[in-house]
Chain A
Amino acid sequence: MNCIEVNEKMADLFDNSISQELKDELFAHFRECPDCRKLYDEMSGVMTELQPRVTINASRNLHTRILDQAIQTGNPYQARRIRILPMLSPTWKKVTAIAALLAVLFILFPLFNHPGWVQNNANAANTLLGKSITALTDVKSVYMEFTVRTLENENFEYIDMNAGFVGHKLWKVFGNPSKWRIEKPGRTVVMDGKNQYLYISGPMGFALIGDADRGSVDWMKILLDPGKILQTEKDFAARNEAKYQVVEEGNDIILTVKAKAMGDFRNTYALNKTIPESNNRRVYTFDKSTNLLKSLEVYIEANNKEIGILQLTTIKYDETIADSKFVITLPANVKWVPFDRLINDKNAGLAGISSEEATKRFLEAWQKEDWKTVDLLMPGFMNSIDVEQVKHEYGGLKILSIGKFFKSGQYPGEFVPYEVRLKSGTIKKMNLALRRDNPGKKWWVDGGF
């Protein structure tokens, strides 16, 4: 390679895609030619000089801000508003804006409060209800993908408005019996027509088997029966502090439910931890021609703004779903344990003491590595997937403090604040969740460890 050719290829040395062969050839030339070597060194010097000496990164909340706006922008109401107004002249904008305001006042206010509008709304709802039930009788299966702001491995109901979106999938085959499956990273639940199976992966995970009606998917069960959504929501609104509205827009029928956070929030710990424990707005869109559900968005209201928390991203009807979808194949070292071993075990739990005392005994058992007591207070502990790893990690912990119990949200038990230091030096400051809604009124640990 001569100097002219080297100069032509020099730029390639500053690109990561250069081949090793070309690189070797150029450097071989530099060893023979001080002028080309000097040029290369000087070019490298310019590269170094132009490199920023400071790291510019996006703010930590930028992605949350963008996703919130993306969800808001995806909202059919807002999208229409954005498209219509810029086409009008300023005068018409004012007129339209006033008309829109009046329309909103006429529609929303009476709809939720005026008996006549409730009646009309109820009629629309009843019509939709009848149609959607008819539509679903012909549907053989449904497949959904939806994203939820939550944490992987947490239960299906848990939400976290500061977390990223976690993908969920749902399969349902309608029939006699019906079968379904819902999964998210770290957690899968299957109902095969007879039993419900819940598999939680990870060292503290479980593989549980129980009867078909076990409530492992909490609020999400509404999605398992898309044809009953309106009925379920109507019943819900009748029983709770919630309002619903059914409107027709173009080819869509939109059901909006606004619900107040349910539970006791004198302590706000559980506020916004689940959809029912949040002030929320659920927007379901049904296709007017087929009456089938086509989208769902759930927003929660927190800190004076709405945050998108759940969005249905895909829904497909009558796809062929293999029967194998309704079977969970466990890793070789994991065995199915009956649900009852966890929650109805007559030997589990401790009666006649306070939740704080139960917390003390539970944490002391970890401190002393008294596994029998740990299993007594956290039934099923010995059936954890990797019990030895859990023992190694948490055994011998040091109790730093145990606080006063409190109640929050809809949780039927009590929360007890505690702080411990693990052998690794990690300090954990959490709230232990204990409940005793069992015949023996015995406290056992339900979560928060």
Chain B
Amino acid sequence: MTEHPEKFPQTLAELEEFIKKNQNRLVRHAFFRLGNQEEAEDVVQEVMIRIYQEKESKRHIENGISYAFRMVFNTCVDHLRKKTRNNFEQLNGKNVLVAIDGSNRETEIIAKEEFHRINQLLNSIPAEQAEVLRLRIIDELSFIEIAEIMKLPVTTIKSRFSYGIIKLRTKVNHQEEVKYELH
């Protein structure tokens, strides 16, 4: 989580510092939505350029990183909307994107397996709860930061988190039991 709010970058040097400090978190955030490293980086690049272009009008924004997360999130949603028209499969009654890039590199395969594993769990609970869990667990944002990104009260974020995690409890515990039975 961020130690203190970061101002919106106004110069190239500030932009560079901002990128270096936050690029891994933002790419991870985009990856676990898109399932593809290249697309995740494209989204982060697109967002960073927009941030730089809009620097004058966004000078007043005090928490630049929350704003960047929201932009990356929204841009991922746009990318998914475009892609789901062409390429999706049904899983547990929900649309789950399958990202295909033809790569066979081992790390990418592992990353994609993780993408599917986590999305399979999150797709079994209501989307608004899943979103809070993603931001807290995968993106390591605090409840206050999540509230700022989602423009909701912190109490709502906490209750969505609790409801989501409690719903998943049964599913995860069931998986654990199956594992033990197999041993």
Contacts and interface: CB of A to CB of B under 8 A. Distances in A.
Given A49-B172, A65-B45, A313-B11, A164 B143 contact: no
A332 interface: no
Contact of A47 (B142, B143, B165): B165
B76 to A, nearest CB: 14
Contact of B13 (A11, A66, A147): A147
A306 to B, nearest CB: 16
A247 B165 CA distance: 63
25 contacts: A14-B161, A14-B165, A15-B143, A15-B158, A16-B1, A17-B1, A39-B166, A49-B172, A50-B121, A50-B122, A54-B107, A54-B111, A56-B31, A57-B27, A58-B23, A58-B24, A58-B26, A62-B41, A62-B44, A63-B23, A69-B45, A70-B12, A73-B52, A147-B13, A147-B16
Contacts of B158: 11-12, 15
Contact of B114 (A11, A43, A53, A62): A53
Contacts of A49: 121, 168, 172, 175
A46 B143 contact: no
Question: Which of A43, A46, A63, A167 has the most chain B CB atoms closer than 10 A to its own CB?
Answer: A46
Contacts of A62: 19, 23, 27, 41, 44-45
Interface of B: 1, 11-13, 15-16, 19-20, 23-24, 26-28, 31-32, 37, 40-41, 44-45, 48-49, 52-53, 107, 110-111, 114, 118, 121-122, 133, 136-138, 142-144, 158-159, 161-162, 165-166, 168-169, 172-173, 175-176
A130 interface: no
Interface of A: 7, 10-12, 14-17, 39, 42-43, 45-47, 49-54, 56-59, 62-63, 65-67, 69-71, 73-74, 145, 147, 164-165, 167, 311, 313-314
A15 to B, nearest CB: 5
A56 B111 contact: yes
Contact of B41 (A59, A71, A165, A313): A59
A441 B38 CA distance: 56
Contact of B45 (A57, A66, A311, A313): A66
Nearest to B37: A56
A59 B23 CA distance: 9
B169 A69 contact: no
Given A43-B165, A54-B114, A65-B45, A164 B24 contact: no
A255 to B, nearest CB: 21
Which applies to chain B's interface (DSSP): helix, strand, loop or mixed?
helix
Contacts of B11: 145, 147, 313-314
Given A11-B158, A69-B49, A50 B27 contact: no
Looking at B41, B53, B162, the one whose CB has the most chain A CB atoms below 10 A away is B162
A67 B45 CA distance: 9
Nearest to A56: B28
Contacts of A70: 12, 15, 48-49, 52
Contacts of A56: 24, 27-28, 31-32, 37, 40, 111
Nearest to A16: B1
Interface of A is mostly: helix
* Minimum-distance CB pairs A-B, first 7: A58-B23, A11-B158, A56-B28, A58-B27, A313-B11, A63-B19, A70-B52
Given A16-B142, A145-B11, A313-B13, 18 more contacts: A11-B159, A15-B136, A42-B173, A46-B169, A46-B172, A50-B122, A56-B37, A56-B40, A57-B27, A58-B24, A59-B41, A62-B23, A63-B19, A67-B12, A70-B12, A73-B53, A165-B12, A167-B13
A70 B47 CA distance: 11
Contacts of B12: 67, 70-71, 74, 147, 165, 311, 313
B13 to A, nearest CB: 5
A69 B16 CA distance: 12
A74 B20 CA distance: 20
B21 to A, nearest CB: 10
A251 B1 CA distance: 45
Contacts of A57: 24, 27-28
Question: Which of A47, A63, A73, A164 has most B Cβ within 10 Å?
Answer: A63
A285 B23 CA distance: 32
Given A67-B16, A71-B12, A51 B169 contact: no
A15 B24 CA distance: 21
B32 A52 contact: yes
Given A57-B24, A70-B12, A313-B12, A10 B168 contact: no
